[in-house]
A and B are shown apart, each in its own frame.
Chain A
Amino acid sequence: MNILKHLKIAGTLLALGAGMLAASQASAQSVSDIVKRGKVKVGVLIGAPPYGSVDAQGNAIGYDADVTALVGKYLGVPVEVVQLTPPARIPALEAGKVDFLVATLAPTPERAKAVMFTIPYSAFQTGVYAKKGTPIKTWEDLKNRTVGVNRGSSVEREFTNREKELNLKILRFEDDATTMQALFSGQVEAIAGPDAQANAAIKARGETETELKFMFGMQPNSMTVRKDAYELKQWLNNMIYYIKQNGELNAISEKWVGGPLPQLPTF
């Protein structure tokens, strides 16, 4: 295993050449490396609003960008933001192009074989939404109701699995926006969907009659460091704990997701 690993590293170095070698040496592995260098390079997600997207000037904006700014503030060094699309995130980290990722990555065991994750700093949540007057608190309350969902979304399964049991009439729409529109216009009595999109639609329309009935799913997301960067991971965990306690993370959640920070799990 060790020999294999060494061969692999040697092969990579040969293949990628001196430029890449320099880059990988320049990447910081600890907090003191970063402070010594006087700059932190952070990979953030783009192309997935409201968590990460770019503004008209090409700057990264969103939940991840704001959290990254906080990291820079507490590290006390300027931040160099590196914009990454979903498939580029872990390769960019492994290649040493960034020091760590604040890029809405779910900490899965498969990924954890290649990288290390901090405790979660954000979470996708999915909920059931309906008009204020509709008495819905649990799945049972959806019995015999007409419900809407985005066709092909992971949420659709929640309805399909309960279709027979609750005698649901499921209307499958093309996207999250049309699904919300069906709820606003009363064509369905309730919908299930991601909170960020639901909140955005409610806000954009100035809707006051539609509200969250209950949450049923959560996918927490973590910051990501290279394998063996224990000290950096520990510092980031510490910082996440701190901004959870002092309300700064909650403010970012309110700003971008449109709701308070959920109870994030730790590990």
Chain B
Amino acid sequence: MPIQFQFEPIFAESDRIVDGVLLTLGLSFGAIVLGLVLAILLVAAKSLLGRWVGLLVDAYVELMRNTPFLVQLFMLFFGLPLLGIRLPGTEAALLAMTLNLSAYATEIIRAGVDSIHRSQLEAGLSLAMTRRQVFQHVVLMPALARVWPALSSQFVLMLLASSICSFIAVPELSGTAAIIEQNTFRSFETYIVVTIIYLVLALTLKVALDRLGRAIFPRISSVDRLDAKAEAA
């Protein structure tokens, strides 16, 4: 028997799908911006403040990178209320995504920071720059430029992982899909539509981040490319 696809019942719920997409995008953008800022602050703290702060940052990064995202989400949603802090689903999701992403981003940016040669720091200091100035201009920006592709792919992963937030009844795209599937009993069609939407979202985000990277780091990345050429030669 040939499969009879019926997409009409799915498209009849397009309002729900649009809401789901908007929530997925909102959560992802929020987590990317906040997570990146938090990661930069953590790297700065590790680089500029003492050894103990560095250890704390390391502990945080390892804790978040070595526990499942779903467990982190449940801890914030079901666990925090027992301590008297009740975060609604969407806020708990945003916080979990931000914390999770910031840990991965910290580790990626740290790799970029490690790649900056010591002579660069000495050059900066010899030009009478303060330690903060050296960190900002000599270390952080070139480091971000180098690891931007790795950061971008982590951001796309976070967009896809936002689907897990449907477990705490957040009606983002996957949560919406589950509701539509249950209303229409058209599982295959529902998930075909959702798959295409995720694919479009993820590819668009990837291209946008690529463009953004070129816009923010034009000079540095071209210098890097020269460096690479010089090394290859």
**A185 located at the interface, meaning its Cβ lies under 8 Å from any Cβ of chain B in the complex:** yes
The segment from B74-82, B137-145, B194-202 found at the interface with A is B74-82
**A141 located at the interface, meaning its Cβ lies under 8 Å from any Cβ of chain B in the complex:** no
**B178 located at the interface, meaning its Cβ lies under 8 Å from any Cβ of chain A in the complex:** yes
Q: Binary interface profile of A, 176-199, with partner B (CB < 8 Å = 1, else 0)?
A: 001001100111000000000000
Determine whether the beta carbon of B169 is less than 8 Å from that of A185: no
**A151 located at the interface, meaning its Cβ lies under 8 Å from any Cβ of chain B in the complex:** yes
Determine whether the beta carbon of B182 is less than 8 Å from that of A173: no
Contact of B178 among A148, A151, A171, A181 (CB under 8 A): A151
Determine whether the beta carbon of A187 is less than 8 Å from that of B89: yes
Majority SS of interface residues in chain B?
helix
State in angstroms the CA–CA spacing of A151 and B179 once bound together. 8
**A174 located at the interface, meaning its Cβ lies under 8 Å from any Cβ of chain B in the complex:** yes
- B33-80 residues with Cβ-Cβ distance < 8 A to A are 77-79
**A143 located at the interface, meaning its Cβ lies under 8 Å from any Cβ of chain B in the complex:** no
State which size class the interface on A falls in: 10 to 19
**A152 located at the interface, meaning its Cβ lies under 8 Å from any Cβ of chain B in the complex:** yes
Determine whether the beta carbon of A171 is less than 8 Å from that of B81: no
- Please indicate which of the listed interface residues A152, A172, A187 has the most CB atoms of chain B within 10 Å of its own CB: A187
Residues of A within 8 A of B168 (CB): 173, 187
Residue in chain B with minimal CB distance to A160? B183
What are 25 A-B pairs with beta-carbon distances under 8 A? A148-B169, A151-B178, A151-B182, A152-B182, A171-B169, A172-B169, A172-B171, A172-B175, A172-B178, A172-B179, A173-B168, A173-B169, A181-B78, A182-B78, A182-B169, A185-B77, A185-B78, A185-B79, A185-B82, A185-B86, A187-B77, A187-B86, A187-B88, A187-B89, A187-B168
Interface residues of A (CB under 8 A from B): 148, 151-152, 171-174, 178, 181-182, 185-187
Q: A181-B78, A185-B82, A186-B86 are in contact. List 9 more A-B contacts (CB 8 A).
A: A151-B178, A171-B169, A172-B169, A172-B171, A172-B175, A172-B178, A185-B77, A185-B86, A187-B78
In the A-B complex, the 4 residue pairs with the closest CB atoms? A171-B169, A185-B81, A152-B182, A185-B78
